[in-house]
Structure 1
Amino acid sequence: MLKLRSILSLILVITIFLLTPACSNNEPTSRFEGAQQESTQPQATAVAEDAVKGGELNRYFPKTEDSYQIIYTQEKRGFAQAKLKEDGEELALLSISDIANNPSASNKFKDSSEMIKGYPVVNQGSKASAVLVRDRYQVKIISRSDQFNEESRKEWLAQFDLDTLAQL
């Protein structure tokens, strides 16, 4: 009888041991664990294989003069970004995005009635303006200074080499 009780106890312990992980909650226990889980998951949207290298997009940015500086801050496949500064103050964030992996990004330009160098332009809120080049490249400026308004953004969008970018 004692031997049967020992065997049953052992079977019960093994069963509990095996079933416990199946019933556990896989939710992260902290915000850090949650961030870790998100950052290690495969990304749902990959960059299109034919997307241009970010460094190649730099040549289409405006050329600076006088007290202006363009400081390139990010280059990755399909994207390049730079800060526009004047006398050390950040005025705006400039970027070119290859939207090959996100063609729906061009939808916001369909109703545009305004053009810069023949390309549709839209405002995105009160701080950003963008141009769509050849239904493929979004050239965008985000104001970082209150003095850098919509008119300033559009003047600087016109300084990008949009026609050469269209040939890419």
Structure 2
Amino acid sequence: MILHCGRKAVAALLLSVLLLTTACNAKAPGRFDQTQKESTQQRKGQAVTKTATQGGEFNKLFPNAGDGYQRVYTQEKKGFAEAKLKKGGKEVALLSISDTTSTPSTVAKFSKSTKKIGGYPAVEVGKTQTAILVGKYQVKALSRDSSFTASDRADWLEKFNLSRLASLK
């Protein structure tokens, strides 16, 4: 009987030690922990300024659909609006307008631009993006399909109501 009580005491002691040591160990990082940390850090300093234009104001300035193209608005928030451009049910491009007052570094890339689209400074970003700067607004066309070329992007950027965009405050 004493032997049985001794075994119970040793088992309880070992169980207590095991629980204590495992509870105090640092948790191994999960597979999404690093991504969560990076995305949280990226948001710092990215708040939209109070003076940024409401995204709904931009929707009126997007090009009309036609010639087999369909325009589908996908995002609208303060300082930004975006629409997909589809042809034959397939997404071929992404069009957007953003207010750069929240991201002044965006404007810097246009300072050395020698190219103009619709009379405004233009830049090519990689092989799939074309952007113009209209006052404090960046208007961008992003190819989502290889059939939508740099020439197509330039044509669609000119279809935006750029004069009305330039007059927004």
TM interval, short-chain normalised? 0.7 to 0.9
User: Aligned residues, how many?
Assistant: 145
Determine the structure 2 residue equivalent to 1:166. 166
Q: Per-residue deviation at 1:42?
A: 9.8
| CA gap 1:37/1:50 in 2 versus in 1, 3 angstroms | same
Determine the structure 2 residue equivalent to 1:157. 157
CA distance in 2, matches of 1:162, 1:54: 15
Determine the structure 2 residue equivalent to 1:146. 146
RMSD: 2.3
Determine the structure 2 residue equivalent to 1:68. 69
Q: Is the 8 A contact 1:92 1:145 kept in 2?
A: yes
Q: Does residue 99 of structure 1 match 2:100?
A: yes
Q: Per-residue deviation at 1:130?
A: 0.3
Determine the structure 1 residue equivalent to 2:15. none
Q: Per-residue deviation at 1:97?
A: 0.8
Q: Give the aligned residue type for 2:144.
A: R
TM-score (norm 1): 0.77
**Aligned pairs for 1:1-168 within 5 A:** 29-35=29-35, 43-45=43-45, 46-134=47-135, 136-168=136-168
Identity of aligned residues (%): 48
Segments ≥4 residues shifted beyond 6 Å: 38-42
| CA gap 1:28/1:37 in 2 versus in 1, 3 angstroms | farther
| CA gap 1:144/1:40 in 2 versus in 1, 3 angstroms | closer
CA distance in 1, matches of 2:150, 2:43: 34
Structure 1 gap segments, 5+ residues each = 1-16
